[in-house]
Amino acid sequence: MAGALALPGMADAAPPAKWTVPDISHLPNDDWGKTVRYGHDLIARTASLIGPEVKDSHRRLSGNNLNCQSCHIDAGTRQFGLPLVGVYADFPNYRARSGAVGTIEDRIQGCMTRSMNGKPLPPDSAEMTAMVAYLKFLSSGIAVGAKTFGRGSGAMPELTRAADPVKGKRIYQKTCAACHQVNGAGQRAGRTGDAQGYSVPPLWGPDSFNTGAGMYRLIGAANFIHSNMPDGTHWNKPAISTTDAWDVAAYIESRPRPGRANLARDYPRRNEKPVDTPYGPYADHAPVTQHKYGPFAAIRVALKASRAK
């Protein structure tokens, strides 16, 4: 059965490296230690520090009440939970979305303006410095350019049909709604307006990630769900089948969320656009719905041919 064999990332994997996360509590209380800890807090409690409900209006930088760790689980320390371990050692790198080499700061701004539906951090701010410091800390001992096993959210086998939001809705109601609510709005930690964010984050609606976010693409979302959900699931012991993960991800992507302007400017080299980008223009002729829900194999073939030209 596909579900039992899904070993995310195994395809191009070196032998699983030991997963060591440096311990933040061992840092001294000097300037470096304080900065790294502030960076950690910004990832873990984003809504309370720079969210849209904080008292000081100048500090309202993220546009929704998610925390970075709503997706980068355990402040970016969980294998296949979109970890931030080893990421600093991999930047600057070429980003297809901008068609240029970008820095780690650029990457943080990407999630600020898309996943957090907010503003970029002021480049010289204490917040940007602290986030980068925390990311550097999480890459302690990892060689520049080294591959870290557990990066991303996995690479489970794809369906040969389109993922099905109707089937996904039934799975959602059975397996996810107890926490994320039938209407996808999640559960507030405190009250609306108190900047405490969520105990369970929303998956769609006005306070969710926008249509330019990585989580709005099916492949990453389905793998994230398979490796990490229901909350507490560990990637090597998935709780739902791969098929259910594809279909429930399709249901989430079918729901309304904030729009991002000027998406047509993403991926200036169209044949580098990920197959599951749910907005055009495209280098191939597959319809938007196929890019949104799959199947992806034929699109991949068309893009490869286009790049070979």
Site residues for ligand HEC per CB under 6 A: 43, 46, 66, 68, 70-73, 82, 84, 87, 107-108, 111-112, 115-116, 131, 151, 175-176, 178-180, 200-203, 209, 213-215, 220-221, 224-225, 229-231, 240, 248
Q: Looking at beta carbons only, is 224 or 285 nearer to ligand HEC? A: 224
Torsion angle of C-alpha atoms 209, 214, 219, 222, degrees rounded to 10: -40
Do the beta carbons of residue 8 and residue 227 sit within 8 Å? yes
Supply the minimum distance, in Å, between the C-beta of residue 105 and ligand HEC: 9
Conformational region of residue 294, where left means phi above 0, alpha means psi within -120 to 50, and beta covers everything else: left
Supply the minimum distance, in Å, between the C-beta of residue 83 and ligand HEC: 7
Q: Looking at beta carbons only, is 65 or 290 nearer to ligand HEC? A: 65
Supply the minimum distance, in Å, between the C-beta of residue 81 and ligand HEC: 7
Nearest residue to 273 via CA among 247, 228, 246, 306: 306
Distance between CA atoms of residues 240 and 221, nearest Å: 14
Q: Looking at beta carbons only, is 155 or 284 nearer to ligand HEC? A: 155
Nearest residue to 307 via CA among 281, 283, 274: 283
Q: Looking at beta carbons only, is 4 or 308 nearer to ligand HEC? A: 4
Distance between CA atoms of residues 11 and 4, nearest Å: 15
Q: Looking at beta carbons only, is 77 or 290 nearer to ligand HEC? A: 77
Look up residue 200 and give its DSSP letter: E
Supply the minimum distance, in Å, between the C-beta of residue 34 and ligand HEC: 18
Supply the minimum distance, in Å, between the C-beta of residue 256 and ligand HEC: 14
Classify 100 as helix, strand or coil. strand
